Structure 1
Amino acid sequence: MAGDHQPSARELLNGNGRGTHLTPSYVNGPDPAEPSAGPETDLLAPGSPHYMAQQLRGENAAVRELLLALSVGFSLPGPLPAELERKVAGGEVESLDSLVARADASGLLHPDGTVVGTAQHALLTLTPTARIHALQRELVGSFAAECRPLGDFARELARSGLADPRVAAELEGAGNKALERDPGLAAQLYEEALLAGADEWATAARRAHAASATGDLDTADRIIEGLFVRPEPPDLRLAVDVAAAVWAQRGMLGRSADVYSWLGAGKVGPSAPAAAVAMIGCGNRAGAESMFPSGSSPASPTLLAVAQAQTAKGVLESLAGDPHQGLPLLIHASDMMNASGASVPFPDTPGSLAALVALHSGEPHLAETIVRAAIAGGQGGDAAKPRLFLLQAWSAMQQDNPEDARLAINEASKANHWPLVPRDEFMCSALEVGLARRSGEVHGLVLAWERAREAMLHTSVDLYSLLPWGELMITAARLRETRRVSHYLDDAWKLLHRLGDPPLWAVPLHWAGVQAALLNESPADLAPHATALARAADHSHLAWVLAAAGKAWVSVLAANFLASDVEAAARGLNAVGMPWEGARLAGHAAARADERKDMVRLLSCARDLHPQGSSAGTGASGPPEVRNAPAADNNGSLPPDGGGLSEREKEVARLVLEGKTYREIGEAIYISPRTAEHHIARMRRRLGAENRSDLLVRLRLALGAENPQRE
């Protein structure tokens, strides 16, 4: 047995006081006085597998067999490998207790019966792989005989390279259990099952599900593409669900509907609600009702199945002339999905759809509450988080809370380690446009518009993306870029027409059309949108408010309005979650009021609706930025400071330097154009400017002296 010598366990402790064959200089490393070791010497460095093997050679073969078995995963008091058990039973070697005692006395075993780490590493590294795997299979057999699950040990076996159908089956089972609630773990388990020899295609749909739920769309796509070309793909319905969810995240909901049409109503089964949501989203109501007929029951009484069925019913109800039942159904669905804790492939989460319906109903605060609950409940897993955060941001923006909106956008961008999917990138870019438009920063608006132009090239129009398209319609009109979005908007109107022009979904887009027409100064373009709002007002409070606001806007631009009517319209906009829009209407009217009392009244209204302000200008389509200082000052409010200008004059000066007209200055800080002109004339006299160019130079110097750090 001399040639079969292996490390002495006692010597593996390397200086624990029990080793006797190691000199002190080699206990914790090479002697620093010795020359540097070469590659061959490194093989025998203390702690290396070869060094450990040499040290183990002092033990007999039976002890080494015991140590190897324990290193592989067998445990004391047994059972142990059949060959070792046979030798012990036949008296060929000393008793098991004696072997254990020898190993323990030499320091090779921990008190719990596991092998010291360095010895275990040496044994597993230097023992032939075939023998290791044979012992592992025998160990798996002993677990099976005792009906014991392998647990995490199955993962270790798979990662060690053992191919065994029993290990693969256990890993698959564990992956199936984790799939709905922890898709990231499920993905790892399925990959380890493949290492253990699992059939690649048997788990393909589930692996794709796990990948898509964690946001890895490319991996999910590759798996599904390979599965669909097989003659009889397993788990076909799940594969279709995954494909549809991926297409939706890519901003191509029409392709989601096509996948369900390809599957057919006869095979759709429990996926009928998902098919209905996809088909309604791309304008195919008849197809949705064929997949999910009215009165359909959930596939099972589970929370998940009921939540999915309620989602489809809620979306169908939202298409009605009186859509008030849609929102409660979707909120119930979102609550149930939160309670289920499941992450399943679906074109959109019930929380997102409920929030969209709330936003389209003029209830952004409710939308924010819904998405916060969905985020807290982990609805839809990591892949759904960005969209939920972006809807939270949209709700905040609509309520005139830009800081909260930007915080939510930041959360969306870091919700998982993947870039935003095209659908979410498109919404994010539209949010940036909306925030820039509301801030009045022209340069920022142009930059945001460029990003949005690129994002829109990677997506298509669907029912659930109308809010971003409405925002882009308004901005395109302001920037004279309507041609960039016209064909997308044509698709949006056609989609709504195919669905019967449902008021809930159509009203916000008509309101965007009104604002765009006002910016384009096109009464002909405004008329059909105003008519649609008036027609929908019988069943939609939001439509009634927006119709009144549109009428007020027309009267303001025609300089033929009553301050009381405008104020009522502005406060109505605030009541449906549009304070910024209300302030903008009141501010424009104040700038055009003939009577000073009307101007003061409208300025007061605007400041009530938009109390937070800045000194930045807003541009023709931006809302007036309201200062906390007194608004209706016609005489220059504060005493001159060291720069020679009052606070109000500094405010006007900044706007002059931005190139704004008297009217735009008045709209920005809620004074009349004539008052703005008086301020500028007074500053010109006070600064001794001879002409406009000279005034601009002197204003820059005055404001620069006030803020030297900005130079």
Structure 2
Amino acid sequence: MVSYQSHVQKPAFRHPEQEPQGPAPHSAELMASQLEGENGAVRELLLALSVGFALPGPLPAELQRRIDGDGAGSLDALIQRAESSGLLTPDGTVAGPVQHELLTVAPTTKVHALQRELVTVYAANGQPLGDLARELARAGLADTRVAAELERSGDKALEHDPGLAYQLYDEALLAGSDEKATAARRAQAAAANGDLDAAARIVDTLLVQKDPPDVRRAADVAAAVWAQRGMLGRGADVYRWLGPSRLGPSGPLAAVALIGSGNRADAEALFRADAPPASPTLLATTLAQTGKGILQSLAGDSHQGLQMLIHASDMLNAAGTVLPLPETPAALAALMALHNGEPNLAETICRSAAASGQGGDAAKPRLFLLKAWSAMMQDRLDDARLSINEASKANHWPLVPRDEFLCSALEVGIARRNGDVPGLIKAWERAREATLHTAVDLYSLLPWGELMIAAARLREGRRVSPYLDEAWNLLERLGDPPLWAVPFHWSAVQAALLNERPADLAPHAAALARAAGQSHLAAVFAAAGRAWVTVLAERFHPDDVETAARGLGGVGMRWEGARLAGHAAARSDDRKDMVRLLSCARDLHPQASSAGTGASVPAESRNAPPADTGNAMHPDGAGLSEREKEVARLVLDGKTYREIGEAIYISPRTAEHHIARMRRRLGAENRSDLLAKLRVALGPESQAHD
């Protein structure tokens, strides 16, 4: 006789719908014939084991009474009969098709009654249900004990695995959990997992109710969702609705939203002297440092604020916790570093935060996009594109409106720096659409500054002027903090230069000069602005231009510095000055092989005659060297000699020399004939320049 103690079955209940395979043909009829009459007890045992009871261990009360009434050893006899019939495997597991059929034909009320008995057994032994709770809930069992365990499991997963937490809370609802009581946590899990629509629906339903439970958490989620939708001001409104008495530990997050939307006074009130001290826990300290850091960024010396935010980012990295935040500490620290002319630091911050999973999957795209902006500022355009690709693949959701706007501005910036006019126009259209889905806030000034410059380049200023007015008003409400205002003034200087409107430039140049005493970056920009004005007026001193250009390179703006030096070289009448400025442009701008990037350095910078040399200059089948192809593309874009020189850092005379040689080589009789033959020589490449 087989002893039941040797048969152990893990509690692995499966609902019929979850069984991967159906029963074998005619198994229902076969099982019915096998389990009638005296074998009815075998059926009851197999059903109990299918539900999740295990051997050895307690069995359902009714089955146990039946076994006890049949005399000692009857359980072993039942097990032996089940094994001999092939219904029970030697390890005590009910055969798959049999389990499926038993659960299919048994009355639902009986199955649920057995499931509740099973839950009672677990509770009596102080044993957690584990995955069995999920299976029971999905099978339709409504039991508050199952719901409570699923809620507890969801709570444990919420700050580390929000996707799992969302599933557990949903299963708790199936088991009879209070929908209102778990709403804020479900919304937090949905938002952290990137499902903004689900989070918004849940939290909206909760916040319209009277005295909603867990209201502070719900407000945090609502503010985070509004921020990701590019409407940070609405997030600040949520915290104002919540009121100071209910803010508690969320005060620093409210400060981030308030300052970002231009409300400095209310944010400062949250840090008044009589406010209760923050909890000494890691997370509470992280949030407090975040709020104080962003408030400190409005001061004249923002170094302390940047340090606070870096500390907050490091602590959140260490905690590995996913919280609903308007902005992560890493994103805020990176933005401050970028505004301070430290793109290398911004890149390091973003890389570390992304590797640590700061903010969860929903925060990764923004970190990658800020990393891309850092690379773009340093003129590493290929690296910027790689980071953009990482952002698009960071999770399974499309970019949220805030990140889509940042991404579109990046595309504009890359195309502008590449001298890619067709690409710039295409990127501009995408960015224009993105502006319709977002609003201006303090943390979006960098992309707005890029669009300001691109609008001037494309003569589309009217498209962005209302948004720019909002940005200037926001900065004014915050007291024109140098850290945030200086780069925006520099963008306005560049836009005025492109528009050839000295009157528009004057107030921004004056603002940079005023801030120069507080901000090294402002001093660099002020010098660069003065240099640009003298270059355009053709009354510049090469020493001043080179100093200004290298100053821009020193604050992470190598492309801007090279462009300034290249423009000055193209306007220089003195060969020595021209060669010196071209050499400066070459030093600042990395070498690149792609045509039209402005990366090539002419032979004149090496004091050699204007001739093409080097492997990159070998002619192709059409007789054009790589340098001549660069010039040809710019000719097809309608550029003048001077504009060609400024684009690829050669003098207008050298540009004229290249064009004349191409005309002779191609046998062109006039300009129209030259353009036609250049299109043929460039082939498909020329289509983008038509």
What TM-score, normalized to structure 1?
0.89
Aligned CA distance change for structure 1 residues 59 and 302 (closer, same or farther; 3 Å): farther
Aligned CA distance change for structure 1 residues 59 and 540 (closer, same or farther; 3 Å): farther
The corresponding residue for 2:3 is none
Question: Aligned runs of 1:293-692 on 2, under 5 Å?
Answer: 293=272, 299-614=278-593, 616-617=595-596, 624-627=598-601, 631=605, 634-638=609-613, 643=622, 648-692=627-671
**Are 1:278 and 2:257 matched, yes or no?**
yes
Could you list the per-position Cα deviations for residues 383-413 of structure 1 after superposition, in whole angstroms to 9, with x for gaps in the alignment? 1111111111111111111111111111111
Aligned CA distance change for structure 1 residues 667 and 66 (closer, same or farther; 3 Å): same
Aligned CA distance change for structure 1 residues 403 and 640 (closer, same or farther; 3 Å): closer
Question: Aligned runs of 1:98-247 on 2, under 5 Å?
Answer: 98-247=77-226
Distance 1:423 1:48 in 2: 58
What is the deviation of 1:131? 0.2
Distance 1:50 1:520 in 2: 87
Aligned CA distance change for structure 1 residues 628 and 208 (closer, same or farther; 3 Å): farther
Could you list the per-position Cα deviations for residues 16-52 of structure 1 after superposition, in whole angstroms to 9, with x for gaps in the alignment? xxxxxxxxxxxxxxxxxxxxxxxxxxx9962654554
**Letter in structure 1 aligned against 2:556:** G
> Alignment partner of 2:59: what SS?
coil
Stretch moving more, 650-659 or 554-563 = 650-659
Could you list the per-position Cα deviations for residues 311-370 of structure 1 after superposition, in whole angstroms to 9, with x for gaps in the alignment? 001101100011110111000000000111110111010010010001011000100000
The number of equivalent residue pairs is 663
Contact kept in structure 2, 1:205 and 1:236, CA below 8 Å: yes
Aligned CA distance change for structure 1 residues 213 and 644 (closer, same or farther; 3 Å): closer
Distance 2:267 2:401 in 1: 24
Contact kept in structure 2, 1:165 and 1:197, CA below 8 Å: yes
> Alignment partner of 2:534: what SS?
helix
Aligned CA distance change for structure 1 residues 354 and 647 (closer, same or farther; 3 Å): closer
Distance 2:290 2:685 in 1: 58
Identity of aligned residues (%): 73
> Alignment partner of 2:321: what SS?
coil
Aligned CA distance change for structure 1 residues 171 and 699 (closer, same or farther; 3 Å): closer
Contact kept in structure 2, 1:303 and 1:339, CA below 8 Å: no
Distance 1:120 1:343 in 2: 41
* 5+ long unaligned stretches in structure 2: 1-21
**Letter in structure 2 aligned against 1:626:** S
> Alignment partner of 1:77: what SS?
coil
Stretch moving more, 659-668 or 511-520 = 659-668
**Letter in structure 2 aligned against 1:70:** L
What is the deviation of 1:92? 6.6
Aligned CA distance change for structure 1 residues 301 and 54 (closer, same or farther; 3 Å): farther
**Letter in structure 2 aligned against 1:262:** W
What is the deviation of 1:64? 1.3
Aligned CA distance change for structure 1 residues 626 and 686 (closer, same or farther; 3 Å): closer
What is the deviation of 1:146? 1.3
Aligned CA distance change for structure 1 residues 201 and 643 (closer, same or farther; 3 Å): closer
The corresponding residue for 2:18 is none
The corresponding residue for 2:237 is 258
Aligned CA distance change for structure 1 residues 77 and 704 (closer, same or farther; 3 Å): closer
What is the deviation of 1:679? 3.3
What is the deviation of 1:245? 0.4
Stretch moving more, 83-92 or 576-585 = 83-92
> Alignment partner of 2:490: what SS?
helix
**Are 1:69 and 2:44 matched, yes or no?**
no
The corresponding residue for 2:19 is none
Distance 2:40 2:609 in 1: 104
**Letter in structure 2 aligned against 1:254:** G
Distance 1:701 1:205 in 2: 64
Aligned CA distance change for structure 1 residues 222 and 702 (closer, same or farther; 3 Å): closer
Moved runs in structure 1, 4+ residues, more than 6 A? none
Could you list the per-position Cα deviations for residues 621-677 of structure 1 after superposition, in whole angstroms to 9, with x for gaps in the alignment? xxx332486656653335995755565444433322332111111112222213322
Distance 2:519 2:440 in 1: 24
> Alignment partner of 1:149: what SS?
coil
Stretch moving more, 647-656 or 62-71 = 647-656
The corresponding residue for 1:7 is none
What is the deviation of 1:113? 2.0
Stretch moving more, 84-93 or 329-338 = 84-93
Distance 2:254 2:230 in 1: 16
Which structure has the larger Rg over C-alpha atoms?
1
Contact kept in structure 1, 2:23 and 2:101, CA below 8 Å: no
**Letter in structure 1 aligned against 2:589:** H
> Alignment partner of 1:60: what SS?
helix
Distance 1:458 1:428 in 2: 13
> Alignment partner of 2:179: what SS?
coil
Distance 1:44 1:653 in 2: 73
> Alignment partner of 2:466: what SS?
helix
What is the deviation of 1:616? 3.3
Stretch moving more, 447-456 or 665-674 = 665-674
**Letter in structure 1 aligned against 2:83:** D
